[in-house]
Amino acid sequence: MTRTWMVALACLAACGKGDSKPAGGSAAPGKPASGNVCDRKLLTIADVGGILAEPVTATRPLAGDPQTCEFVTASIDKGGPMIRISLRPGLGKQTVQAMLDGKMNVDAKPVSGLGDSAAWVDMLYELDVEKANTLCMAAIAGGAVVQTKPPDLQARLGALCTKVLAAL
C-alpha cells in the first residue's frame, strides 16, 4: 500500500465515525450503501479513459479496503500506473479539513468548485473531494506515475469525483 493510502487510512481511523448518512444505492435509512465505486457501477473503465498514458484494462478492489476500486493497466504487475478511487461516507469533512490543516503531513491546497470542499496534494497526485460529508478520494499510483501524469490531472480526477458524488 502506498504512503498516500496509509496516511489516508490512518486519518480515517482517527477521525472516528462522523455523522454517517446514506450514500446512495438501496441501503436502509441511516446505513450507507456498501461496495466501492466499481461494484456500485458509479464509474466504469470508459470514465477513466485517457487519464493515463496506458489504457486501463481492468478494475479490482484494493486488498483490505472494500471502499476502494483500482483501475489498472496491463503493466500493473510490473509497476505500471493505476487510478484509485475511494468512497467513504461520513468522513469527508474531517478528512479534507485535516488535509488542509496540515495534519496529514502533506502539502495540500484547497480546490474551489468541487463538492462542498476539496484538497489537492500535488506530490501524491491525489484529489480529495467532500460533499455532504462523503469523501471521494481519487489518485494515480504505481511506479510509472511521473511518466503518465497528464497536465490536467486535477481536473480529470475532479470530474470523476463529481460524477460519483452526484450519483449518490
Cell numbers linked to 92: 469527508
Q: Which residues contact 4 (CB under 8 A, 6 or more apart)?
A: 121, 124, 126, 139, 141
CATH code 3.40.1000 for 36-166: yes
Average pLDDT over residues 2-7: 42
State the Cα–Cα distance between residues 140 and 142, nearest whole angstrom. Answer: 7
Specify whether the CB–CB gap between 131 and 90 falls below 8 A.
no
Does 5 score more than 70 pLDDT?
Answer: no
Q: What are the sequence ranges of the domains in the chain? A: 36-166
Confidence (pLDDT) at 27: 45
Cell numbers linked to 112: 474551489
101 to each of 19, 47, 108, how far by Cα in Å? 20, 31, 8
Confidence (pLDDT) at 33: 61
Does 106 score more than 60 pLDDT?
Answer: yes
> With bands split at pLDDT 50, 70 and 90, how would you rate the model's confidence at 70?
very high
Confidence (pLDDT) at 150: 80
pLDDT tens profile 16-46:
333 333 334 444 444 456 789 999 999 999 9
* Average confidence score pLDDT of the chain: 83
Confidence (pLDDT) at 149: 76
DSSP string, 108-150: -EE-SSSSSEEEEEGGGTEEEEEETTEEEEEEEESTTHHHH--
Does 84 score more than 70 pLDDT?
Answer: yes
pLDDT tens profile 108-163:
999 999 999 999 999 899 999 999 999 999 999 987 666 667 889 999 999 999 99
Average pLDDT over residues 92-107: 96
